[in-house]
A and B are shown apart, each in its own frame.
Chain A
Amino acid sequence: SYELTQPPSVSVSPGQTARITCSGDGLPKKYAFWYQQKSGQAPVLVIYEDNKRPSGIPERFSGSSSGTMATLTISGAQVEDEADYYCYSTDTSGNHRVFGGGTKLTVL
């Protein structure tokens, strides 16, 4: 079955740039989406279709994708950005959805 691989954790100091990667063999053909999940809350979309930001998401959140890797970048990370981040995509058939294992971002 198709898998997306993320690092379990990333840690930065406030104001630094955090980068979270997501690798998957299907990413050259399929878009990556990124979801933020804070403790006890439902996920929230922060990036769609590799590099687009939904309205209401701060400009410090950006995304990119090259080859088999997608990257979520938080420029000038804030304490309130501490959360779990999940990449999401579909398999090449488009019929099976898959999440990465999640990355816990610590900002302190």
Chain B
Amino acid sequence: EVRLVESGGGLVQSGGSLRLSCAASGFTFDNYRMNWVRQTPGKGLEWVSYITTSGAIYYADSVKGRFTISRDDAKNSLYLQMNSLRAEDTAMYYCARERYYDSDYGFDIWGQGTMVTVSS
């Protein structure tokens, strides 16, 4: 079964740090681009960051300079190091796999998410 399981969320004070992990199973992890997407309670989805199979990395402007995405293909794992956290970073954080369809990439597998709460 193809699966993504996030962990590492919790309650942290404003200005603090947290490291999220996403454990992948059921597929060849190093063949896929991986993303972090977040969702503020009761609000919409926001793309956070993605990393390609070759290690190219991109961030949303809202997190650039504070968050760092990485992957360890040997451990089938994706990470998100979050520093200088703000109240507006409070959200459910999802790990999501991208796959290539006929002509473009899109998310096909999502984890169940890990909740991050930043207290001010």
Contact = CB atoms under 8 A, between A and B. Distances in A.
Interface of A: 1, 30-31, 33, 35, 37, 42-43, 45, 48-49, 52, 84, 86, 88, 90, 95-102
Contact of A99 (B47, B50, B113): B47
A49 B108 contact: no
Contact of B113 (A31, A35, A42, A84): A42
B102 A52 contact: yes
Contact of B47 (A30, A31, A45, A98): A98
Contacts of B15: none
Contact of A45 (B50, B106, B111): B106
B61 interface: yes
Interface of B: 35, 37, 44-47, 50, 58, 60-61, 94, 101-108, 110-113
B58 A96 contact: yes
Given A31-B103, A88-B107, 9 more contacts: A30-B104, A42-B110, A43-B94, A43-B107, A45-B107, A48-B106, A49-B103, A97-B47, A99-B47
A5 to B, nearest CB: 12
12 contacts: A1-B61, A33-B107, A45-B108, A48-B104, A49-B104, A88-B107, A95-B58, A97-B35, A97-B47, A98-B47, A99-B44, A102-B44
A31 B60 contact: no
Contacts of A99: 37, 44-47
B61 A43 contact: no
